[in-house]
Amino acid sequence: MSMKILVINGPNLQLLGTRKPEIYGTVTLQDIEKGLEKMAGTLGMAISFFQSNHEGEIVDRIAAARTEQIDGIIINPAAYTHTSVAVRDALEAVEIPAVEVHLSNIHGREEFRRKSLTAAVCIGQISGFGPDGYQLALQALKSRLDRKSQKQT
């Protein structure tokens, strides 16, 4: 049985490629998803994607992941990183290993972007590597889930 990974992207990430390319680059969200699909296939993983500009939809999608038996989550909460207790609580409640991803180095940007409400309930945070951060997150999740699986057998 292959591992099931869910990738969640928050507000404004549908604008990647055209929004502030000097910060976020010119790669689109669709480009990132295509690369992840290819990589997941190589790793023998199933992957699905969700993007929303609405906090409640993101919370609902995280909650649904539990009943879908998702093994891991990659999440770029975008602006909700810094503001959403609801997204944080949903990640904590489902008890699914999650990796937080940010295209830019949030720790080198404006002060309000340096605080993540969601990172504490994730197994890790990858920040500042552009689109490669998503692939690093997928590799990290695979490694973590493989170790967990080995311990259970």
What residues are labeled active site? 24, 102
- The position carrying tokens 């940007």 is 109
Residue 75 CB burial class (10 angstroms; 0-12, 13-18, ≥19): buried
State the amino acid at position 110 in one-letter form.
E
Strands 4-9 and 72-76: parallel
- The position carrying tokens 């057998």 is 153
| Per-residue tokens: 63 | 């909650």
The helix or strand, by DSSP H or E, that contains position 110, with its residue range, turns out to be none
